[in-house]
Amino acid sequence: GSFLVHDECQDTRCLTVRGKDSITHYKIQSQDGLFFIVEQTKFKMLQDLVYHYTTHQSSGVLVTTLRHPYYVPRGDDEVSRGDIQLTHKIGKGNYGDIWHGVKGETHVAVKIQNQGLASKSEFLQEATVLSQLDHPKIIHCEGVCSSEEPAYLLTEFLKFGNLVDYLQKGEGKDVHFLDLVSFGLQVAMGMAYLERQGYIHCDLAARSVAVGEGKLCKIQNFERARRASCYKLPPRTSVPVRWTAPEVFATNEYTNKADVWAFGVVLVEIITRGGRPYNHMTNEETLKAVQSGYRMSQPPSCPRGLYEVMLKCWCAESDSRVRFEALEWQLEEFFVSQCFEDRTYIAPFQTKH
């Protein structure tokens, strides 16, 4: 089920698919601005073609349904395992443990593949995504070790860890209120970039935000991210109930608008300094309440204007939810207006990059 879209020759693309016992190549044809493998099924965008064959049975067209992209490291991406010194475990991801490491003089976060949780190509899907992204609010890939088992994924290391831990028990326990707003704004900046690039994150939460020097925030945890307008979750995929939009439970499909819903929950986590969303409910109670129209109340320390931003993320109809582009400028306007009211506050970062 692993696959690779690549250039066969000039102006010609090829879809290579690994079946149970074979590797098959399919020519992706283009005509009148539409992409197709068979003429009966055409698509305006290449990622829509890939999504179709990911979410639908192949119907005799492909040898198997597509599952995940196969990662082919560039020459400068591959890192020798001997060049990495692991120091201590710092966390756990969806597909394995995360360690602090040193590569030369550079501190890195090292994700180590748990072969019982993910194949190598599934694990390296995150590297495929990160290699195509370049933004100051998105974590940077520092290389991979894919020639040996288990595989390693190296990303830049931000010293204060994830945003939840930073706010609950790290140096962020006593940060200024406007720092909290800036954290939300920085996440919105990164998500607006993903939106422009056609990506969905599929696992946005405060734990998926890393914090570095100068109160810098970067989005991380791209194991489930996809370049698609809609992503069909594989069967039996566990989802974080408190961050997941209600329509996902009905359709098993994740979209950019589900990311927007999750961002509203992230704002609650930030403003409550690492508080647990729906704190007095079980997961089952949370799901039933949200599906019945319940929304979290305005946190005590949250201004009305900021709470209204959260509510725009939680519209029951996904198409009615605000876009990240609008969230970015709304939060920036709120941030700037609050800075004018508090002349003693010095912003830790530039809002524009």
Q: Where would I find the beta strands (DSSP E) of the chain?
A: 2-9, 12-18, 23-31, 34-36, 42-43, 68-69, 84-93, 96-103, 106-112, 141-145, 152-156, 199-200, 209-212, 216-219, 226-227, 230-232, 253-255
Which are the contacts of 320, defined by CB distance < 8 A and separation ≥ 6?
none
DSSP 8-class letter at 315? -
- Return the amino acid letter for 204: L
> What gap in Å lies between CA 145 and CA 152, rounded to an integer?
5
Q: Is 92 helix (H, G, I), strand (E, B) or coil?
A: strand
Q: Is 3 helix (H, G, I), strand (E, B) or coil?
A: strand
Q: Is 78 helix (H, G, I), strand (E, B) or coil?
A: strand
The catalytic site residues sit at 203
Q: Is 27 annotated as a binding residue?
A: no
Is the peptide bond prior to 299 cis by the omega test (within 30 degrees of 0)?
no
Radius of gyration of the chain (CA): 21
CB 314 within 8 A of CB 242: no
> What gap in Å lies between CA 333 and CA 185, rounded to an integer?
10
Residue in the block written with tokens 């990662």: 71
Q: Which two tokens stand for residue 74?
A: 């560039």
Closest-CA residue to 248 (of 282, 176, 237, 80): 237
DSSP 8-class letter at 272? T
Pick left, alpha or beta for residue 208 (phi over 0 → left; psi -120 to 50 → alpha; otherwise beta): alpha
Q: Which residues are annotated as a binding site for ATP?
A: 111
Q: Which residues are annotated as a binding site?
A: 111
